[in-house]
Amino acid sequence: MTLPRVSIQTADFDLSAEVAALRAGDPGVGAVAAFVGTVRDRNPAGYQGQAEAGQVSAMELEHYPGMTERSIEAMIDAALARFDIRAARVIHRVGLLQPLDQIVLVAVTSAHRGQAFQACEFLMDYLKTQAPFWKKETTPEGARWVDARVSDDAALQRWGIEAGGNAG
């Protein structure tokens, strides 16, 4: 059975089970790097122009069905071409999430740690700037869409990739 490389789902995920499935049957794997993103309950002062730190009570995730899956598949193909890695897995949750919830998993297997770490970070940087997901936060002041961060585009550029898109 071939495991899916990309899952967009409302359900939670189990890091241990996903890593076990990703490396199952591959004795060439010497390293697994995994990143788990979680929903936090506050944003720092200065975030989106706020004077003070803000409470976040919920987060709603929207995606573009079809495009989201395909764009992440293409990112994984790019990572496989660029790094000496053996397999990769991305899970991103959508719908309504709460602080403490897991939101995203990127896991990569490789013979050695260096390529696994790099590919994992590359996939996360790519995902943050190129995969069509949008976050809406609920705060004491009401619900609002999260603005994209310039620092995320800068993170992608260190891989020699322009964030692209139409600024105007």
The kind and range of the H/E element at 153 are helix 150-157
CA neighbours closer than 13 Å in the CB half-sphere of residue 16: 0
Q: Which is nearer to other proteins, 41 or 62 (by Cβ)?
A: 62
Q: Which is nearer to other proteins, 69 or 87 (by Cβ)?
A: 69
- Count, residues in the chain: 168
**Whole-angstrom Cα distance, residue 147 to residue 48?**
7
User: Whole-number minimum distance, CB 113 to other proteins, in Å?
Assistant: 22
Q: Which is nearer to other proteins, 111 or 136 (by Cβ)?
A: 136
User: Whole-number minimum distance, CB 23 to other proteins, in Å?
Assistant: 23
Binding site for other proteins (CB under 8 A): 37, 61-64, 66-67, 70-71, 92, 103-104, 124, 127-136, 145-149, 164-168
Structure tokens at 102: 């897991």
- For residue 107, list its beta bridge partners: 34, 89
User: Whole-number minimum distance, CB 148 to other proteins, in Å?
Assistant: 3
First to last CA, the chain: 45
User: Whole-number minimum distance, CB 24 to other proteins, in Å?
Assistant: 26
Q: Which is nearer to other proteins, 85 or 156 (by Cβ)?
A: 156
CB 89 within 8 A of CB 75: no
Q: Which is nearer to other proteins, 23 or 129 (by Cβ)?
A: 129
User: Whole-number minimum distance, CB 111 to other proteins, in Å?
Assistant: 27
Place of tokens 């200065």: 46
Place of tokens 């890091």: 15
